[in-house]
Structure 1
Amino acid sequence: MTRLPRGRRIAAALVGAAASVGLVLGAAAPAAAQSAQPGSTSSVSPPNTEYGPLPVPFDFRAGVVASLNPEVPPPGANDFHCKPTAENPRPVVMVNPTFTTQAFAWQAGAPFLKNDGFCVFTFNHGNITPFPGMPLQALGDIRQAGQTLSAFVDRVLAETGATEVDLVGHSQGGGVLPDYYLKVLGGADKVHTKVGISPSTQTTLSELVYLRTLIPRLGPAVYGSLENTAPALTQQAQGSDLAREVYPEGAVGIPGVQLYSVYSEYDEAVTPFTRQIYSGEGVTNIHLQDGCAEDLSEHIATMYSERTWLHVRNALAPNRAEPVPCFPVAPFWPGVH
């Protein structure tokens, strides 16, 4: 039997693991869908309809179900006939986080913004497999993902006739990826506002750095294999070549772009959480626990938290911003009461 080179064996193992997770999601999806039905005994709230005609599920399970079809945009997204208005003059491009797709990440955010009159656009990036239907993506080289984002922004501008877009992203999609596009690829000329939800600014999975350092042989081997097969993981670690390129002076403002960071002190992925605080002109940092101790959202929950999206809407349309009320948000599963 022909033995594959070490790098290809690792890649195959990673793809196999990703496929296994996909199967687990597939097994969980019917149960999730069933528990979301009216009359269910689940304690998770049904989709919210107070924000407009499209239901907005502030419920992580909506992403689990949708992740089985990652090429299908979330509700309200990718209507290329949508034209910006005087009230919402810029289309919104949403950038998904590590391990996810457009389908998983934006089942709440896309319809929420669409209901408010925004033209919303989503895409996938960083697929390390040849299968477009892979439910786990955003793992490939972030520099290449920046090129994908650049091309997608250009398409949105051409289709809508707008001169600028706004970017909204979570984790990698709210931090190092759009920041690389803005600072290195010249994207700042095409972007008015960037809203980073739990933005990954060179510390995500920093535990891997400890693994590499403290566990002889095995640590460096695992870290090296990730560098080769899923580079987005190690590129987000503190001190990586990409982190030094994008953040030579830390997370700072970008001339000409309004930057917002929506972050939680309970973040377990971007550590310490203060790394998500940007400095400089044109920067607004929104601490979710400021004046709302009941908000227990952490890195995952912020993607589907209603409070998060109220802050995002205010950032995109500051001329009609409203105070964001305080109410309980559970960690990991924000729709649970």
Structure 2
Amino acid sequence: MLGSRTPSRPAGRRPAHRTSRRSRARRTGLAGALAALALSIPVATGVGPVPDRVADRVTPAARAQVQLGPLGDYLRDLDPTGELGPYVTEALNGINGPIGDPGPPAAAAAPVTCRPTVAHPRPVILVHGTFDNGADTMPRLGDPLRRQGFCVIAPTLGAYAGNPARGGLDSIVATSGPQLAGVIDHVRAVTGAEQVDLVGYSQGAAIAGYTTKVLRPGAVNRVVSVGGYWGADNSGLIPNQLPREVAALGLWAANLRGLAELSPGSPLIAAWYGLDRTPFLPGVGYTLIATRGDHLLPPERSFVPGPGVRWVVPEDACGGRPNSHGGMAVDARTHAIVAGALGGAGGC
């Protein structure tokens, strides 16, 4: 699917009473993960007098809203088996610190053990999403590229010092973006490459796009977005859609700072879009990949028009069924499209 028109919006979601037994079980698992938040959590400053226990503040109705709303979709799509639950609880509990003070950022870890080749002259830097890290992203998105001879680096960005294995949490403007810019500088210095390519997954696509245009213009040749957010949807990514009972706790602003910045009118979006009102930098090749099975960022929320910007829906380009937000990263169709966008063998 190529072009610059806005994709059509898919049909509405199925009513809750028509969900399958497996889907209901997954939601029960999510409820269990949310119930784990009933542990005592220090209250964020500046949000008014709220109880110390999430269970006292989040009503059953609000919890049901979370299950059936954007946050529930996000968690289910990231990890349909429910294994993400502990990481969510971990993040909301402050990453080993009070919820209002998650601690200083961890340093970006990005060992460079490969060199570009004549066939693939630009190193590829993977930019992971929320709750993720470079080590886990490499086998999902990096290994298929490495098998084709690409030099691939997978740093961990936006983690807190108290838990350096979970990135994509801290501010993009203050932490993840500058860290990625530093990784780009380091990779270019070590490898001698004039430019790098970036592959961003989920929130990582926004980090890659922001860094390419604002922090390191001229240093990036191509950006590939896998289920990414590009700032065009006026509802933001997640924070503005959360039920009031959850948002009042300030959890997103206090701990998931990167996601909180992906909201309409935020300083990040303003700086990223700039005076030319586009997230794209002229001269850079952009490929945006999205699937209709992604409840968080389907094509109509992920695709943004721009000169020379390529849109690809895997099920259209390669056939097969739509995938989920989390499933995209391990889908062979995604791997083929990413490789092709970077100049490798990209046939489905």
TM-score (norm 1): 0.66
Distance change (3 Å), C-alpha of 1:180 and 1:114 = same
Shift of 1:258: 0.6
Q: What secondary structure does 2:162 align onto? A: coil
> More displaced, 280-289 or 193-202?
280-289
Q: 2-side partners of 1:253 and 1:313: how far apart?
A: 21
Distance change (3 Å), C-alpha of 1:322 and 1:184 = closer
For the pair 1:192 / 2:192, whether they are aligned, the reply is no
For the pair 1:177 / 2:242, whether they are aligned, the reply is no
Distance change (3 Å), C-alpha of 1:6 and 1:303 = same
Q: What secondary structure does 2:125 align onto? A: strand
Who is 1:260 aligned against?
A: 287
Shift of 1:311: 0.6
Q: 1-side partners of 2:43 and 2:324: how far apart?
A: 39
For the pair 1:104 / 2:136, whether they are aligned, the reply is yes
**Contact 1:258–1:282 (Cα < 8 Å) also in 2:** yes
Q: 1-side partners of 2:318 and 2:281: how far apart?
A: 29
Who is 2:186 aligned against?
A: 155
Q: 2-side partners of 1:194 and 1:177: how far apart?
A: 11
Who is 1:90 aligned against?
A: 122
Who is 1:21 aligned against?
A: 86
Structure 2: gaps of 5 or more residues: 1-40, 55-82, 91-105
**Contact 2:137–2:154 (Cα < 8 Å) also in 1:** no
Who is 2:156 aligned against?
A: 124
Q: 1-side partners of 2:169 and 2:346: how far apart?
A: 36
**Contact 2:177–2:207 (Cα < 8 Å) also in 1:** yes
Distance change (3 Å), C-alpha of 1:196 and 1:291 = closer
- The aligned amino acid for 1:323 is G
> More displaced, 261-270 or 144-153?
261-270
Q: Please, what is the CA RMSD of the aligned residues?
A: 3.6
Who is 1:323 aligned against?
A: 347
Shift of 1:114: 1.1
Q: How does 1:169-248 map to 2 (within 5 A)?
A: 169-174=200-205, 176-185=206-215, 187-202=216-231, 206-211=237-242, 215=244, 218-222=245-249, 224-247=250-273
**Contact 2:168–2:258 (Cα < 8 Å) also in 1:** yes
User: How many residues get paired?
Assistant: 258
Distance change (3 Å), C-alpha of 1:120 and 1:220 = closer
Q: Deviations over 1:50-104 (max 9, x none)?
A: xxxxxxxxxxxxxxxxxxxx99x9xxx9443x22121111111111111111122
Q: 2-side partners of 1:87 and 1:293: how far apart?
A: 29
**Contact 1:84–1:90 (Cα < 8 Å) also in 2:** yes
Q: Name segments (4+ residues, structure 1) moved above 6 Å.
A: none
Structure 1: gaps of 5 or more residues: 26-69, 325-337
**Contact 1:253–1:279 (Cα < 8 Å) also in 2:** no
Q: Deviations over 1:243-278 (max 9, x none)?
A: 2332367655321211111111222122x5323223
- The aligned amino acid for 1:257 is V
Task: Give aligned-pair identity as a percent.
Answer: 27
TM-score (norm 2): 0.64
